[in-house]
Amino acid sequence: MIRTSRHGARLAALLASAVALPAFAQDTGTLDQKKAEEAQRRPPAYSPYVGRDFPTRPFFGDTHLHTSFSMDAGAFGARIDPREAYRFARGDEVTSSTGQPVKLSRPLDFLVVADHSDNMGFFPDLFAGKPEVLADPTGRQWYDMIQSGKGADAAIAIIVAFSHATFPKDLMYFPGTPAYHSAWKATIDAAEEYNDPGRFTAFIGYEWTSNTDGNNLHRNVIFRDNADKASQVEPFTVYAPYGSDNPVELWKWMQAYETKTGGNVLAIAHNGNLSNGLMFPVVEAFGKELDREYAETRAKWERLYETTQTKGTGEAHPFLSPNDEFAAFEIWDKGNLDGSVAKKKEMLEFEYARSALKNGLKLEKELGTNPYKFGLIGSSDAHNGLAAMEEDNFFGKTVPQEPSPRRMMEAFIDNTKTGVKIMDWEVSASGYAAVWARENTRESLWDAMERKETYATTGPRMIVRFFGGWDFETRDAEDRLPANIGYSKGVPMGGDLRRAPGGKVPTFLVAALKDPIGANLDRYQMVKGWLDKDGNVHEKVYDVAWSGDRQPGSDGKVPSVGNTVDEANATWTNTIGAPELIAVWKDPEFDPTQPAFYYGRVIEIPTPRWTAYDGQRFGVKPLPGTTMTVAERAYTSPIWYTP
Amino acid sequence: MGGYWQRLQAVSRLSIATGLILVSPPTVLACGYHDDVSMARGMMNWVYPDALHVLGAISTAVAERRLPPSVNNTAPDLFGSRYRRTAEALGRFGEALGESADRMPALSFSIVLLEPMLWTRYGAAGGKLRTQVHVAGPEASDLVLVSGEAVIGEIAARRLATGEAIERGLIRLYGSESQKAAFVGAFRSAGSARPGTMKPTASGHAAQSVAGMEAAMPLQSISITARPIPPSTAFEAEGVLACGPGHH
């Protein structure tokens, strides 16, 4: 059942092949039954890659990045605009908003600049003295103060306007105004300029930022389309009378966009952990009982969920998954988005991806459609224009969190009224979205997102495979072209298995390859959730493949891989773990009458967290309790079984 | 007294009391993550373009062990000791400037320390500098200096020359070319171990070099040999403003 490879003589070769993309990474895609049969009929060519018609590699990117165009990012001092953000993502060296040169270890393949739709573009326009701003007396006054050397006073005036909610209405950037139109056009223009089909994809997008009472219900909206369609609309906003804080209204906007333009959009929710129980409702939402229409509409527009980012990881919570020893990972569970309401345990079930996937099975039985049948991605939500999410190259979530000797010591959220306090050191260097697509274009990547052939990583670029079917055999894991087998005998991540053939149980072909410049892998786990005949949901985590010759204990769990991290010097070695893991796994507890989902979780060996790098580089001692190591990971989109 | 710092604090208190910011963010801000000091600091980057580059320069200097880390302590400053130390250092910074100048220019300027967003004004009058810590902000005609606590602390302790701090981007100047030239010409050696004995610059005419530079840029053309800061007790200490102003 289990086949693993340890480091050693093969490592160099594996690394080399990994850089050029390994065999099992290259042959991927969506091979349907018809194409598979056709392929079988063709005479075999010498080249095993002839006739492949499926994605050939995972593309790594960020679907959630803010620039100076976002109101809050600008207020924090972000000067990097969308163009600069795209330049950085494609691999260029840029200067951060705190003046520090920064460059990614490797270019990303794609980026969505997803600035907040409300007040998009205000700060750059104010300080540039745009006519739209100067037309307002207060805007003119602030600008003149800045120009006359009274900028500090202007800053105070702006802060007071924010604080007292006396910000001039005519200065607010609402859809339909020339100023807003200009900002949206600039966003589109930047994406068009840097979109380079085949090399780098710059998506058009924005973030809809529903945040009523501090409860996060944000969604990132991503266009499949180019400027010709995207420019026919302006983003949906939150504040009345132009927008709404209800996701149902966002979905209406999305439908209207597609109807009007013939284009395509999708929405990705994030940070259920900061919604205080509102992200994944099971009874009612916004005062309306959930019904089939809600379920169908949500499932249609929200094909993915951003399960890891700088504000915590939302795959699972130890309270909900007490038997999952890896659940307590970069958890933010103290309150809602602004800390105005402290967290209660009973909220958690409706915030985390795994429990939502489970409740989705239940809702499908009740409503006929599963509203939470989503795939998984990670992204940054960085607010400084820098999608720099590697532990040794982490430029923070906001400008104040760019590298400095102070950033580990300060508070990110400190609500003295509720006692909710989150320190800057708790901000995660996470994550990225991995997308199995045929080519690096808007259309191909978007289509892969739509079919959920994606996985989340917390930063590293490990290559992860996950196929489900009825006929995978142990020897399939010995093939160096497992994707051929995977697509021909099963479905990839994000897919469906239906109606188990008589006597058969689901089998899964799983494979993972370490990030070529990253850490070895500890284990590949299978997370299963299911609905029993009594309508109760359950979950179980299985170790499927792991490094070395560790033997599972009596509880079935594989012992710890160990830890080579030298926290003081921020180093580690790949003397433990494995560069690749591959196996075929058969569900040992399958009941063909019970709906279920399965997804893969790949865990790296422990490595230094960004806090360790900061401690070493700046010579500062972290606060007591600061997490200094991290076991990076990837989460695949699920494969669902429906009886 | 009063002024900016107090106004910010007042706004902050008001915000907390009324829930305007920390509890219920105003509609213009999307995320709810901000406080007034952070926002004031952020807007410095716009009002004085790239002012926050000072923070990056400080980070670089700390990483190179040329500057001690000015580590923040999130505990409340109940007795104002941190403020007092900073205020003392700002006073000594003014003294260092005064001692270094052969002839005091008729130049008034204001400095903001980015960490606390604390403004201090140095008014030139009668050949002397009058230090006013904790002012509302710069006067309209002032040259504006942007820097950080540790930088001023090191200059005040005579371990860092002002010219070197400018060269390294640890202090950024905002004003007219003539103002910047006057400041650099008069005070570049302030903070060096023996005032007035600093090595000559590569160009030998630092003041002239100002003219060709962007208004906000540090004086890149000055080439002053950097010297690592010797470890001190304060440098090695941990905690609040261990090396901060007034500690030495």
Range of the domain at A154: 122-172
CA distance A537 to A594: 10
Do A377 and A63 form a contact (C-beta atoms < 8 A)? Answer: yes
- The nearest CA of chain A is from the CA of B64 a distance in Å of 8
Do A302 and A267 form a contact (C-beta atoms < 8 A)? Answer: yes
Q: Are residues A543 and A397 in the same domain?
A: no
Do B122 and B97 form a contact (C-beta atoms < 8 A)? Answer: yes
Q: Are residues A385 and A523 in the same domain?
A: no
What is the ipTM score, two decimals? Answer: 0.90
In a domain, A503, yes or no: yes
- For A150, the closest chain B residue by CA position comes to B140
pLDDT of residue B226: 32
Q: Are residues A299 and A431 in the same domain?
A: yes
Q: Are residues A139 and A229 in the same domain?
A: no
DSSP state of A309: E
Domain locations along chain B: 34-236
Q: Are residues A167 and A193 in the same domain?
A: no
In a domain, A334, yes or no: yes
Cβ neighbours, 10 Å, residue A12: 11
Is residue B212 predicted with pLDDT exceeding 70?
A: no
3-state secondary structure of A628: coil
Of B33, B36, B119, the CB nearest to A152: B119
pLDDT of residue B75: 61
Give the distance from CA A106 to its chain's centroid.
18
In a domain, A65, yes or no: yes
Do A640 and A597 form a contact (C-beta atoms < 8 A)? Answer: yes
Determine which of B16, B18, B22, B110 to mutate to test the interface with A (most A C-beta atoms within 10 Å). Answer: B22
- Rounded to an integer, the average pLDDT of A176-185 is 92
Q: What is the pLDDT of residues A85-111, one digit of tens each?
A: 999 999 999 999 999 999 999 999 999
DSSP class per residue in B136-193: SS--TT-EEEEE-HHHHHHHHTTSS-HHHHHHTTSSEEES-HHHHHHHHHHHTTTTSS
- Rounded to an integer, the average pLDDT of A542-555 is 96
CA distance B129 to B203: 28
Is residue A326 predicted with pLDDT exceeding 50?
A: yes
Q: Are residues A32 and A104 in the same domain?
A: no
Q: Are residues A344 and A395 in the same domain?
A: yes
Report whether the peptide linkage leading into residue B204 is cis, meaning its omega lies within 30 degrees of zero. no
Structure tokens at B114: 């980015």
Is residue B199 predicted with pLDDT exceeding 60?
A: no
Read off the pLDDT band of B74 (50, 70, 90). low
Nearest to A22 by CA among A556, A624, A637, A516: A516
In a domain, A264, yes or no: yes
Phi, psi of A313 (to 5 degrees): -110, 135
Structure tokens at A493: 């991540």
- Rounded to an integer, the average pLDDT of A72-79 is 92
In a domain, A451, yes or no: no
Q: What is the pLDDT of residues A561-590, one digit of tens each?
A: 999 999 999 999 999 999 999 999 999 999
Is residue A3 predicted with pLDDT exceeding 60?
A: no
- The answer to whether the Cβ–Cβ distance between A72 and B21 falls below 8 Å is no
Q: Are residues A419 and A272 in the same domain?
A: yes
- The nearest CA of chain A is from the CA of B177 a distance in Å of 15
In a domain, A453, yes or no: no
- The nearest CA of chain B is from the CA of A480 a distance in Å of 45
Q: What is the pLDDT of residues A489-506, one digit of tens each?
A: 999 999 999 999 999 999
In a domain, A487, yes or no: yes
- Domains contained in chain A, number: 3
Q: Are residues A536 and A491 in the same domain?
A: yes
Structure tokens at A250: 């966002």
Q: Are residues A167 and A202 in the same domain?
A: no
Indicate the range of A169-178, A379-388, A510-519 predicted with least confidence.
A169-178
Q: Which residue has the tokens 């333009």?
A: A261
Q: What is the pLDDT of residues A105-164, one digit of tens each?
A: 999 999 999 999 998 999 899 888 988 889 889 999 988 888 877 777 887 788 777 666
H/E stretch holding A633 reads strand A633-636
Q: Are residues A331 and A201 in the same domain?
A: yes
Structure tokens at A64: 């959630």
**Selection from A22-26, A162-166, B5-9, B68-72 with the highest mean pLDDT:** B68-72
Q: Are residues A580 and A479 in the same domain?
A: yes
CA distance A221 to A219: 6
3-state secondary structure of A2: strand
The fold for domain B34-236 equals Nonspecific Lipid-transfer Protein; Chain A (3.30.1050)
Residue A138 forms contact with B (CB below 8 Å): no
A422, A437, A452: which is the final residue of a domain? A437
Q: Which residue has the tokens 């580059």?
A: B53
